[in-house]
Amino acid sequence: MSLFISMEGSDGCGKTTQMNLLEQTLREKGYSVTRSREPGGTPIAEKIRELVLDPENAAMDERAEALLYAASRAQHYKEVIRPALDRGDIMLCDRFVDSSLVYQGIGRELGVPQVAAVNEWAIRGLMPDLTLILYIGYEEGLRRKNRQTAGHLDRLEQASEAFHRRVNEGYLTLAEMYPDRVRLIDATGDIETVREAVWRVVEEKIKAAERK
């Protein structure tokens, strides 16, 4: 059995903590797990990550930005994701195509269908089996992020409030657009409550995949 799970959410939603906990639970249960993140996950893709997040590149065109994320994803697919799924692993990815649909498609207003088309080509039509969106709302995200970063913001984090509000709302839109694949998790609760909510959804998906 192979399974591809991506985790999404706006800045400050607690994604890294929950990824750590989910990876740990899966390993304890004996699953073979490959974990990675986007943008990045391979040496070439990490170079693209530096380029796209560097605050010095303030003049970057929105389409160039969308294409760079897609380029990073194409490389990541080839070197990490496809091989992991071919081995029968559970592939855990911290952000994947939905980040582009939301940040570039909705946040940068390039359009979800347009960004989806570019990405479909980059990742050879592969979509996650399950996408978990950790949802906290704009204000709560901002509060947490300010605490975490102490003012050091990357290029995306420096984008306008309107952009980040669109991203936040955009995740709700995405959950409505892809109800079979995308599950919205209320991430406003404490770490343990969110961990349990994440595990319920993942366990259900694993059981369904094992029945197949």
Residues that bind ligand TYD (CB under 6 A): 11, 15, 38-39, 53, 69, 95, 99-100, 103-104, 156-157
- What DSSP string runs through 149-212? HTT---TTTTS-HHHHHHHHHHHHHHHHH-TTTEEEEE-SS-HHHHHHHHHHHHHHHHHHHHH-
Residue with Cβ nearer ligand TYD (103 or 135): 103
Residue with Cβ nearer ligand TYD (34 or 100): 100
- Rounded least distance, CB 29 to ligand TYD, Å: 25
Q: Which residue is nearest to ligand TYD (CB)?
A: 103
Handedness of CA 104, 105, 111, 116 (dihedral sign): positive
Residue with Cβ nearer ligand TYD (15 or 35): 15
- Rounded least distance, CB 195 to ligand TYD, Å: 18
53 token code pair? 């997040």
Residue with Cβ nearer ligand TYD (15 or 195): 15
Residue with Cβ nearer ligand TYD (11 or 89): 11
- What DSSP string runs through 69-116? HHHHHHHHIIIIIHHHHHHTPEEEEES-HHHIIIIIIIIS-S-HHHHH
- Rounded least distance, CB 1 to ligand TYD, Å: 26
- Rounded least distance, CB 13 to ligand TYD, Å: 8
Q: Maximum CA pair distance of the chain?
A: 50
Task: Find the distance separating the first CA and the last CA of the chain, reported in whole Å.
Answer: 9
Element (H, E) at 13: none
Residue with Cβ nearer ligand TYD (159 or 209): 159
- Rounded least distance, CB 27 to ligand TYD, Å: 21
